[in-house]
Amino acid sequence: MHLSDRNYFVVAVVFYGLSTLYAVFLQRRGFRTDDRINYLLLLGGAAFHTLAMMERGFNLQRCPINNLYEAITFLLWTIVCSYLAIGIWSRLRFLGAFASPILLGIGVVALMPSLDPPLAAHPNFTGVWPSLHAALILLGYGAFGLSAIAAAMYLRQERNLKFNKREVVFSLMPPIQRLEQTMTRLLGAGFVLLTAGLLVGALWLKSTHGYYFSSDAKVLWSGLVWLLGCGLLVSRWRFAQRGRRFALGAIGMFVFVLLTFWGSNLLSVIHNPDPQAKTESRR
Amino acid sequence: MSLLVLGLSHHTAPVTVRERFALTEARVPATLAQLREAGLADEAVILSTCNRVELYCATSLEPARAFPGLVEFLRKLNDFQEPLTTEFYQLSEPHSLEHLFKVACGLDSMVLGETEVLGQLKQAYDLALQHKHTGGRLNKAFQRAFNVAKQIRTETNIQRGATSVAAVAVELAEKIFNSLDERQVMVIGAGDTSEKAARALLSRGAQSILVSNRSYDRAEALATELGGRAIHFDNWASEFKRIDIVISSTSAPHYVLDRARLAPLMELRGNAPLLLIDIAVPRDIDPEVQFLDNVYLYNVDDLQAIAENYLQQRKDELAKCEGIIREKAAALLGARRPPAATPGRRPALGHQ
């Protein structure tokens, strides 16, 4: 039986849902149980997710990052693949219990038909540079997502250490210092990827439009996200704003990206350059 | 030839009786020889610790004949004339073998799951082996007991977790810091428990210890013992910048450290995580400090509650361990026999 790319993605989201249910079980057990099952569920989800992206990529004959559905699935794919890589190290495998609700929630949103119009077959951007620009930035947002997940684990562990003292030693969660390092490094990696993606975008803009910077809504929004990331890292290294505040900042920044990504895309002229073509293709 | 166990332990006999039957290591080889010469055992091992004295015998005698002889042998050996009621337990197969496995796994110990008894059992077996008082029957039983102990340790949580305040302090430190290597520890008030906790942290890799005490001499003595450095009590705050773990146990009637004093010290430390262990009564550290970011405070009640939780967790694992032991004993005896048919008396506590 041959499934479409969206069907493969639906199966992946089902796996993420099962993983979320198992994560609730792990959470209720106070993270005392080993989480290999959760890792395997996410591995299954990632396999179908990869099939979905390959199917669409081969159909389009290019990297499938042409509309919001594809951008979101790419973002989720980077998160789940990064988790699977990090999860090989058993001490950080618990990231999965925190990653699965995000994968499920955003995955369900991505399945809204309005995010995946038929225009996907006629992408606005082709070529290496736009693909590289989009891929780097989405990888950066994926790293921000993982950083936010590590931050959620940090907050949970911090709460246990301070207010659930009699249970904390029974949890298999990693030491809080390791969680702090993980969230900081992931945020740093995301920031580097975002910076690289924005630079590639600026160079591409120069080569096609003759200027590096535009006051386009998405460009301004990306600049704002970059400033937020920069501010968090500077406050961490320069002003010792570590721990809880940094964790809240990492989560806040990722939530901001999630909530405004769609809107900024809709308002952008550069990223929707040919509305006439859309109208015609719909006819 | 079957395996019999005759013994008394902290479950069945008070220390006043146990100490009368205890054997020093030097007496054991001669006692084993006498036991065999008396025709009571073909092979024998004696385990004598502070909590138990046990004879493990492989004998072709019927248990009903062997046990009275063994009791009489021990009475005479230790010149014990007083009446005995339920102090001695007498176990024959399969319970004797299961008991050996339980002892090896620490399931019969005062602190459930402790590992010290396994070392003592190995020592007792080695002593008998060296003096050629063991043969095929006991060799197989003891080797299997050591294997079962290893299996239980890896497959169950019976030995997991700390059951002392000092060990709990180490576990908490490991929940906060990536590793204890290069961690700096400060002991404020040189009490016995804080010394134990500091030693436990050092054994896990903590880098150095600073000791501060109202009596500088006492601080210096403890610092020397721990390989650390003594500091004057009034100066401990000035050393705080490099400290990761504080163990406080002064006899001060008021808080030694409160939120107002700690907040600027945390800034000096770059807000790095700080573990505070307050084992003083009355408490040395104001509980309000835990509302500061990156400060983790535990008092003696917290530590004791964690130790008790661990002990409960070990008790919860008991059924699983006993299942493994029954299975292994049955396999060694060559047949899976129901555990109900048991001749002889069984100890009142800790064996079910």
The CATH code for residues B2-158+317-333 is 3.30.460.30
Q: Quick check: B262 pLDDT over 80? A: yes
> With a CB-CB cutoff of 8 Å, which residues 108-127 of chain B face chain A?
none
Instruction: Tell me what pLDDT residue B30 has.
Output: 92
Chain B residues with CB-CB distance to A167 below 8 A: 309
The answer to whether residue B347 scores a pLDDT higher than 50 is: no
To the nearest whole Å, the CA of B169 is away from the closest chain A CA by: 10
Q: Which amino acid belongs to residue B340?
A: A
> Which residues, 6+ apart, have CB-to-CB distance to A165 below 8 Å?
B298, B302, B305, B306
Provide φ and ψ at B112, rounded to 5°: -55, 130
> d(Cα A197, Cα A217) in Å, to the nearest integer?
17
Please list every residue in chain A whose beta carbon sits closer than 8 Å to the beta carbon of residue B178: 175, 177-178, 181
Q: Which residues 164-193 of chain B have a CB within 8 Å of chain A?
A: 168, 171-172, 174-178
Q: Does B309 touch chain A (CB under 8 A)?
A: yes
Do residues A149 and A99 touch, judged by C-beta distance below 8 A? yes
The confidence score (pLDDT) of residue A255 equals 92
- Residue contact A170–B309, C-beta within 8 A: yes
Instruction: Tell me whether residues B178 and A242 touch, CB distance under 8 A.
Output: no
Q: How far is CA A145 from CA A22, A184, A265, in A?
A: 20, 12, 19
Pick from A170, A175, A244: CB nearest B177: A175
Quote the pLDDT of residue A21: 92
The pLDDT value recorded for residue A126 is 61
Predicted structure pTM score: 0.70
Tell me the angle at which helices B165-176 and B192-203 cross, rounded to the nearest 10 degrees.
Answer: 50
- Tens digit of each residue's pLDDT (9 = 90 or more) over B64-81: 889 999 999 999 888 888
Taking CB atoms and an 8 Å limit, are B161 and A162 in contact across chains? no
Residues in chain A within 8 Å Cβ distance of B298 = 165
A166 vs B162, B290, B309: nearest CB: B309
Chain B closest CA to A163's CA: distance in Å?
Answer: 9
A220/A214 Cα distance (integer angstroms):
8
Indicate if ipTM > 0.85.
Answer: no
Euclidean distance between CA atoms A180 and A157, whole angstroms: 11
What is the structure's pLDDT at A1? 60
CATH number of B165-307: 3.40.50.720
Lowest mean pLDDT of A26-40, B290-304, B337-351, name the range: B337-351
Contact present, A46 and A84 (Cβ < 8 Å): yes
What is the predicted pLDDT for the residue at A272? 66
**Average of per-residue pLDDT across B234-244:** 84
Interface test with A, best of B271, B276, B311, B317 (most A CBs within 10 A): B271
Whether the CB-CB separation of B290 and B176 falls below 8 Å is answered with no
How many whole angstroms separate alpha carbon B6 and alpha carbon B67?
7
Overall residue count recorded for chain A in this entry: 283
Do B2-158+317-333 and B165-307 share a fold?
no
Query: CA B66, CA B60: separation in Å to the nearest integer?
Result: 9
Residue A270 Cα distances to A71, A75, A277, B338, B340, angstroms: 16, 21, 14, 80, 83
- For residue B134, count CB atoms less than 10 angstroms from its CB and return exposed for 0-12, middle for 13-18, buried for 19 or more: buried
- Measured between alpha carbons, how far is A70 from B37 in angstroms, rounded to an integer? 87
CA dist list (Å): B267 to A22, A97, A162, B241, B292: 40, 33, 20, 9, 11
Between the two ends of chain B, the Cα-to-Cα distance in Å is: 25
Summarised one tens digit per residue, pLDDT across range B137-150 is 999 999 999 999 99
| Dist. CA B223–CA A87, nearest whole Å | 42
Determine the length of chain B.
352
Chain A: closest CA distance from residue B119 (Å): 27
In this predicted structure, what is the pLDDT of residue A33? 64
Q: Of residues B286 and B337, which shows the higher confidence score?
A: B286
The residue of chain B with its CA nearest to that of A176 is: B176
Per-residue tens of pLDDT for chain A, all 283 residues: 677 888 999 999 999 999 999 988 887 776 666 678 889 999 999 999 999 999 888 887 777 777 778 888 888 898 899 889 888 887 778 788 888 888 898 888 888 877 777 654 455 556 677 778 888 888 888 889 889 988 998 998 899 899 877 777 777 788 899 889 989 999 999 999 999 999 998 998 888 878 887 788 888 999 999 999 999 999 888 776 788 899 999 999 999 998 888 788 777 777 765 544 444 433 3
**A25 CA: distance to closest CA in chain B (Å):** 19
How far apart are alpha carbons B314 and B4 in whole angstroms? Answer: 28
Kindly list the domain boundaries of chain B, sorted by start residue.
2-158+317-333, 165-307
Quote the pLDDT of residue B314: 84
The 3-state DSSP class for residue A63 equals coil
At residue B67, the pLDDT reads: 92
Q: Which residues of B are catalytic?
A: 50
Interface of B with A in 214-243 (CB under 8 A): none
Q: What is the mean pLDDT of residues B190-198?
A: 83
